[in-house]
Structure 1
Amino acid sequence: MTASLKSITAWLRSRKVELGLGVRVTVAAMGALVIALALGLKLPLWAVLTSIIVTQMSVGRSLKATRDYLVGTVGGALYGAAIAILIPHNGEGALLAVLVLAVAPLAFMAAINPSLNVATVTAIIVLLLPLMNHGTPLASAIDRVLEVTVGALTGLAVSFLVLPSRAHSQVRLMAARVLELMASALTELLSGLTRGRDADALHKLQDGIGAALVGLNTTGAEAERERNARLSSGPYTGPVLRTTLRLRHDLVMIGRASVVPLPVELQQRLAAPLARVTDAIVGYLRASAAALRGGMLPPAILPVQSALQAYAAEVAALRSEGLTRGLAGDVAERFFALGFSLEQMRQNLKDLERCVAVWADASVVQARKIEEEEVE
């Protein structure tokens, strides 16, 4: 029982962001319902649904969702009400024609700008709801805007006040996750040069990296939105986003260079240097991920540089001995492309070192400065 409780507790701690979202959505729905009932809104349902929709994983995402939902609602309500008032639609045929006029332009605009998706739904509600409750299109439009406004503002307020989650802090965690996935992929890629590789496992890792990078870029945009609204401070997200993307490109190039194992005579000479390169880079990526999570300074990059220098020296020795002259054209191309790719990764790891240093907590940086001053 104790082990199970510890396991559940550990799992819940690892899902703090998701738990926070669940609490915020619940509070937002309850708050929207209470406010809608207090104001006597005709359909509190729309206020509750809107509050749930705009309460997102981060404050930055909630800001965007609130803006998009309010703009789409107001635009759709105004357009739907105008169509309903200006064009008579007493019969079924006329109603169908008016519905086409209401839906087609807004659907076209939503296809161009997805943030306006709600406008089409709002226009339909404004147009058809009066037929059910015997109201007027104008009253329907006003009610709809009021209901959505209550829900949107309630959801946004809850996002700010109840367990707020900043996109800026999520960038740090997501970037660390990307680095860990890259470390696992690099292990599989470089080991493939001497023993072959598991294509299925590698594809799964590469897909995971791609999905993680998409999420990281989305969260980075939300973090900059928070910064522009002066809701958060800290490093710009651009450098860490660009560096992780370049590291992904390095992995792609290494993957192409390691599609088949090296010739046996090269494996015998390069197995040990490649193993040291793998251990050094993988260890550096994982240590950098841990530093990002903890707000610590970057790990030492010297082991990576030393391992790559030893590998380059062994490659130079192979070339001086003439062991690369008899390689087939495609094999030689992949062999030298591997060296180029590793050198590119070394440069990008230096950029990663700077990024991790920038994202370190101010207290950690200050403590390091004090230590250096004491040593001097």
Structure 2
Amino acid sequence: MSKLKPLFDRFYARRAQLALAVRSTVAASAAFALATALDLRLPLWAVLTSIIVTQGSVGRSLKATRDYMFGTIGGAVYGGAIAVLIPHTGELQLLGMLVLAVAPLAFVASLNPSLNVATVTGVIVLLVPTMSHIDPLSSAIDRVGEVAVGAFVGLAVSFIVLPSRAHVQIRGAAGRLLELIAAAFTELLAGLSRGRDNDALHRIQDGIGTALVALNATGAEAERERSARLSSGADSGPLLRTVLRLRHDVVMIGRSSVVPLPSELQTRLAAPLAKLSEAIAGYLRGCAEAIREGHSPPPIWPVHVAVKAYAEQVASVRSDGLTRGMSGDAAERFFALGFSLEGMRQNLIDLERVVAEWAEVPRKVKTASRSDHEETPDTAGA
């Protein structure tokens, strides 16, 4: 049994992909059975449509179904109209009609990618009658009917068979992104003692950027589910905006860590920076776990204490005159770091509120303006 556990864990880690595979298989089989029972001319299109609209989440399936149906109907109407209204007998005339059908539909699809299928449908409606000896109007009707059957089956399967809600997926995506930000923050603060080149900075930021794009896509799917009243969870907008601001904070801190601090400042600031790194990274990881599991946010007071201790040490360093000998660029980066850390503290306060909203048993979190929180010395030392 112990030998099977790693294999089971591997499959469990891919449970979302396995569920999509099951849904796609069921959708394809059901679409073929229904198309055959309805005696549709080409069950192939019903099967293909059912697979296309069966997506990783209900919200994504809704969008795929809408786009595919609109594109199919538009392409069928336009292609059928050309075939019916323009007489053609030879191959040269058919080639001209093909150009007339493809060019406008391809142009529309380039303006609105969600209508890509319109071009394909127009070509099918135009050319299938020449191969199967049916009239263009019947070809258009058949195409719309086959796609409608596939879309209906695919959407129904997405709702019934191992349904996956984007509102659930966004929890895991947000948790992963917060953990990436925590790891990057720790690494970037460590750069204040050894510096960091731009290539290294880009490598650190690339993973966060990719995860943020995926999170935004999942958030759009979650809002589509909310609009269709398929989900009653929290609004994803505040979560996405807060995480984006935290990403910007990490970018600003990264720019400040390119040049290491002078040795005197490293000695004086090493301890408060270490505590600051531990407090903020720990809080981000705690929020990641909380939003993933639907728990209340962890206590944020260690962040306030750490930021305040760093600000006090910066003020002490300035009063001792240790910043006077710094070059203009180094001084600018040093004080920008303080402003960035204070901005990150404020965004972590917003994160506390957002995580509480996503908790299954929400905890009351005081949402206050910056002046309502304990007075913290300006971490920039200004």
Same fold, TM-score > 0.5, yes or no: yes
Q: Which residue of 2 aligns with 1:7?
A: 6
Query: What is the rounded CA distance, in whole Å, between the counterparts of 1:80 and 1:346 in structure 2?
Result: 58
Query: What is the rounded CA distance, in whole Å, between the counterparts of 1:123 and 1:88 in structure 2?
Result: 17
Q: Which residue of 1 aligns with 2:317?
A: 318
Q: Which residue of 2 aligns with 1:19?
A: 18
Query: What is the rounded CA distance, in whole Å, between the counterparts of 1:286 and 1:202 in structure 2?
Result: 21
Query: Which amino acid letter does the alignment assign opposite residue 290 of structure 1?
Result: E
The answer as to 2:236 corresponding to 1:243 is no
TM-score by length of 1: 0.94
- Kept in 1: contact 2:201–2:254 (CA 8 A): no
SS in 1 for 2:134: coil
Counterparts in 2 of 1:281-292, with a 5 A limit? 281-292=280-291
Q: Post-superposition shift, 1:36?
A: 0.8
- Kept in 2: contact 1:103–1:123 (CA 8 A): yes
The answer as to 2:271 corresponding to 1:272 is yes
SS in 2 for 1:89: coil
- Kept in 2: contact 1:247–1:348 (CA 8 A): yes
Structure that is richer in helix per residue: 1
- Kept in 2: contact 1:188–1:198 (CA 8 A): no
The runs of at least 4 aligned residues of structure 1 exceeding 6 Å deviation read none
Q: Which residue of 1 aligns with 2:337?
A: 338
- Kept in 2: contact 1:191–1:197 (CA 8 A): no
Q: Which residue of 1 aligns with 2:355?
A: 356
SS in 2 for 1:163: coil
Q: Post-superposition shift, 1:203?
A: 2.9
User: What CA deviation, in whole Å up to 9, does each residue of 1:44-97 have, x standing for no partner?
Assistant: 111111000000111111011001101110110010000011112222221121
- Kept in 2: contact 1:20–1:163 (CA 8 A): yes
Query: Which amino acid letter does the alignment assign opposite residue 2 of structure 1?
Result: S
Query: Which amino acid letter does the alignment assign opposite residue 233 of structure 2?
Result: G
After superposing the two structures, state which structure 1 stretch, 218-227 or 201-210, moved more. Answer: 201-210
Query: What is the rounded CA distance, in whole Å, between the counterparts of 2:100 and 2:71 in structure 1?
Result: 17
Query: What is the rounded CA distance, in whole Å, between the counterparts of 1:11 and 1:276 in structure 2?
Result: 36
Q: Which residue of 2 aligns with 1:71?
A: 70
Q: Post-superposition shift, 1:201?
A: 5.6
Q: Post-superposition shift, 1:333?
A: 0.2
Q: Aligned-pair RMSD on alpha carbons?
A: 1.4
Query: Which amino acid letter does the alignment assign opposite residue 337 of structure 2?
Result: L
Counterparts in 2 of 1:143-154, with a 5 A limit? 143-154=142-153
Query: What is the rounded CA distance, in whole Å, between the counterparts of 2:112 and 2:228 in structure 1?
Result: 22
User: What CA deviation, in whole Å up to 9, does each residue of 1:265-313 have, x standing for no partner?
Assistant: 1111111111111111111111110011111100011111111111111
SS in 1 for 2:347: helix
Q: Post-superposition shift, 1:263?
A: 1.2
- Kept in 1: contact 2:84–2:136 (CA 8 A): yes
- Kept in 2: contact 1:292–1:360 (CA 8 A): yes
Q: Which residue of 2 aligns with 1:33?
A: 32
Q: Which residue of 2 aligns with 1:372?
A: none
Counterparts in 2 of 1:99-138, with a 5 A limit? 99-138=98-137
Q: Which residue of 2 aligns with 1:176?
A: 175
User: What CA deviation, in whole Å up to 9, does each residue of 1:217-266 have, x standing for no partner?
Assistant: 11111111111111110111110000000000001100111112111111
Query: What is the rounded CA distance, in whole Å, between the counterparts of 1:193 and 1:294 in structure 2?
Result: 34
Q: Post-superposition shift, 1:2?
A: 2.4
Percent identity between the aligned chains?
69
User: What CA deviation, in whole Å up to 9, does each residue of 1:25-55 have, x standing for no partner?
Assistant: 1110111011011111111111111000000
- Kept in 1: contact 2:53–2:151 (CA 8 A): yes
Q: Which residue of 2 aligns with 1:216?
A: 215
Query: What is the rounded CA distance, in whole Å, between the counterparts of 1:279 and 1:195 in structure 2?
Result: 18
Q: Which residue of 2 aligns with 1:194?
A: 193
Q: CA 1:162–1:201 in structure 2 vs 1: closer, same or farther (change >3 Å)? A: farther
Q: Which residue of 2 aligns with 1:96?
A: 95
- Kept in 2: contact 1:28–1:55 (CA 8 A): yes
Q: Post-superposition shift, 1:197?
A: 3.8
Query: What is the rounded CA distance, in whole Å, between the counterparts of 1:345 and 1:33 in structure 2?
Result: 54
